[in-house]
Chain A
């Protein structure tokens, strides 16, 4: 059977209604059990500008938004002018010929003009062209009209029967026009019989928090992390989660710490700029030994940077956030399922080790949308609160002498929650003794300082054995091993497939847990690899530098991208070819789409 690999591009200005046809298409695909990957290239603008949504579907998991477009819906001239070079032979361009002039298309590309004035002469508004184009695309891929009719009916029901009739009528006209004027694609969409779920990474992170038992969530709005806040706010009452929008990110993390200290699982999310403001308090959480989870959804920096574009540029920021040495656990989810499952895992770890945990996502992963098997969203996750006293408001009888920062072999000291009778103590961001008394106020004692500092840091020794070591994906004797971290897993794996087609055997080592790092395991994997190439979305090779500092491994080549757009598979393929040919050690692709 021919494998379906269909990418639909919808482009226009902000406000032209790109999201709705995208959502409708995605819903149609996942209801048939088809996998979907969607990436929306957008601007920090509410009206105008240029937005381009790529929606790619297949009966097999879709690893990235791909290289090419099969059906293009240019809602304005700008989109027509910018994106034609991505059109594959056999593809189609559907556009309103009243307002958009056809561009010069590559050979084999079908131009499908339609006139809104002719097909819907009485209907006002610009959105009608979207409905017609959507209906026409569905006709080209042979989706029954009734399916669209049902969705439009649901969507416009609120606006009354006249609105439903009008939109269904317009859709019908577009559908029928396509049937008689355009050539259909040479395949029909299959139905696997297994419905899939479809959502964005931020929703997955928020749902992971819910599964982990987060009871307190707070945030300051910041793209591209606000999706977590929106999901939490929408479901707060249903789930019994306190959700607060705070005055700034310094307030956010400190509020989360306050809530966490009383026993709530507390979480917050931000992007790099907000994370920078949180730095000092993350150290405070570590010093007071309060578990808290912070998500950093990276966007292109520095400073305000490119708020709507992706980058993996905050690795060193999170590695070094805040003054002094302190225990922290850092994880970078590599796919959307990770976004969900890693949150409860991380909460169990930070509860056990009483330290901050950081999730390093990025715009691509957090705002990118993917289909997943709903069975993978298992909310019945194990919950381990660690050594904590007073979760129900009471603790076992104690006869005084509770030492909050008791020096132990593991470095973990039992934690008592405020309100628990018998365990009264003070936690402090100043250096303190076992019982929380400030050393600087008692007398400065280097031995006490050393002992309590070692106690805190020693906790990290216990974390590493609990983390799974990264594993090599693909052949151990591959010609080239592509090393990535976080969100690049999908596009690297797809590039591997393309490389195989070109006769190049590649493998992939994708690193998820960044701190603590399984350095020995990584050394043992990479020491036998023939050629190591590190792929990452930043300028300076932040992971390459980190890997070298932790393992001594210097990679043979680097593929880096820092223009704000995510990698497309062929960027990595081209980079590997250039590096294997010896023409460069550092390959930086030039992005084709001028968004």
Chain B
């Protein structure tokens, strides 16, 4: 049998959380800011690398788990939330962070995204929203603004974008925030808040693409974003949260829109998890008396 190791809770620093390789993102990419904020949040929360599982899909931002020294899963395009849901239910002692882009989460992964929020799965989902497809070299994304010129919309997009904030609140997410990589301190706090929140936390994060999005740049957000905490916002007021979530123009709010801590997370509602620790660590096999009862049902 395996030896039980007593792990000392050594203090984990941001440096300890550096992954095996350095990011290959374009210089100036907003995703560097998300990676830095996530490391900072993990360190400040005092989590050990093995206690965290980072799950991503496919896209520039989905490469993030490889740049981080925690357990990681780099899954298929759009499927990170589904994989993370399975992992969370199977081992609810893991702290699971899902990372990815707007195309990955709001486009191809839209179905899993909505249903994970409805179920209030205990996940922290950081969407690096750059409003464009980067890794496929610049096509329209679900959050691209109307009129945007991209390789797939060379004459301007006629479609309306998704607004993830009111979508998430309506779908049942219990922690809904928006960050901006130009506001690192706030972003760290939002991620920490999401990871401490028991339930589904969405942190949609403006993470500007320096290569393919010349509309929604760092400068664009710097001029328009305003912190909700400076706007007298009450994140427990549903109507206020929806209203602020819909603002898009000269003022774009960032911060915590909505928080509903009273709703139990899915794993807390599941009687099978009631006792006995994570499913993944439980012994296999059916007790003889139960096996006999199962057979008796057929007689």
Convert A245-289 into 0s and 1s, putting 1 for each residue whose CB lies closer than 8 angstroms to a CB of B. Answer: 011101100111111111111100000000000001100100010
CB distance from A356 to the nearest CB of B (A): 14
On B, residues with C-beta under 8 Å from A are 1-5, 7, 19-21, 24, 48-51, 53, 55, 58, 63, 65-66, 69-76, 79, 82-91, 93-94, 111-112, 114-115, 270-273, 276-282, 284-286, 288, 290-291, 293-295, 298-299
Q: Using A199-B298, A256-B86, A442-B21 as known contacts, say yes or no to A215 and B71 having CB atoms under 8 A apart.
A: no
Complex interface: chain B residues within 8 A of A380 (CB): 285, 288, 291
> CA–CA, A594 to B85, complex, Å?
46
A:169-218 near B, CB below 8 Å:
195-199, 203, 207, 210-213, 215-216, 218
A250 contacts B90, C-beta separation under 8 Å: no
A:471-505 near B, CB below 8 Å:
none
B94 contacts A259, C-beta separation under 8 Å: no
B74 contacts A428, C-beta separation under 8 Å: yes
Nearest residue (CB) in B for A433 is B20
Complex interface: chain A residues within 8 A of B293 (CB): 238
Q: Is A430 an interface residue (CB 8 A)?
A: yes
Complex interface: chain B residues within 8 A of A213 (CB): 284-286
Beyond the given A241-B272, A262-B94, A437-B66, please list 16 additional residue pairs across the A-B interface where CB-CB is below 8 A.
Answer: A236-B272, A246-B115, A250-B79, A251-B82, A254-B79, A258-B73, A258-B85, A259-B89, A262-B87, A374-B298, A374-B299, A377-B298, A379-B291, A428-B73, A430-B58, A430-B74
CB<8 Å pairs between A and B, sample of 23:
A198-B299, A211-B291, A215-B90, A237-B271, A247-B111, A254-B82, A259-B89, A262-B90, A266-B90, A391-B281, A392-B281, A393-B277, A396-B2, A418-B53, A418-B91, A419-B50, A419-B51, A419-B278, A425-B72, A426-B66, A427-B73, A435-B20, A438-B63
Q: Is A383 an interface residue (CB 8 A)?
A: yes
Q: Which 9 A-B pairs have the closest CB atoms?
A: A213-B284, A258-B86, A426-B72, A255-B86, A263-B280, A379-B291, A254-B82, A259-B90, A258-B83
CB distance from A255 to the nearest CB of B (A): 4
B2 contacts A395, C-beta separation under 8 Å: yes
Complex interface: chain A residues within 8 A of B271 (CB): 237
A394 contacts B5, C-beta separation under 8 Å: yes
A393 contacts B72, C-beta separation under 8 Å: no
Q: Using A197-B295, A421-B7 as known contacts, say yes or no to A264 and B279 having CB atoms under 8 A apart.
A: yes
Complex interface: chain A residues within 8 A of B115 (CB): 246-247, 251
Size of chain A's interface in residues, with CB distance under 8 A?
A: 83
A377 contacts B295, C-beta separation under 8 Å: yes
B279 contacts A216, C-beta separation under 8 Å: yes
> CA–CA, A247 to B282, complex, Å?
27
Complex interface: chain B residues within 8 A of A288 (CB): 73, 75
Complex interface: chain B residues within 8 A of A436 (CB): 20, 66, 72
> CA–CA, A266 to B76, complex, Å?
18
Nearest residue (CB) in A for B80 is A254
Q: Is A397 an interface residue (CB 8 A)?
A: yes
A207 contacts B82, C-beta separation under 8 Å: no
A427 contacts B272, C-beta separation under 8 Å: no
Q: Using A258-B82, A258-B90, A437-B21 as known contacts, say yes or no to A237 and B5 having CB atoms under 8 A apart.
A: no
Complex interface: chain B residues within 8 A of A254 (CB): 75-76, 79, 82-83, 86, 112
CB distance from B267 to the nearest CB of A (A): 9
B3 contacts A394, C-beta separation under 8 Å: yes
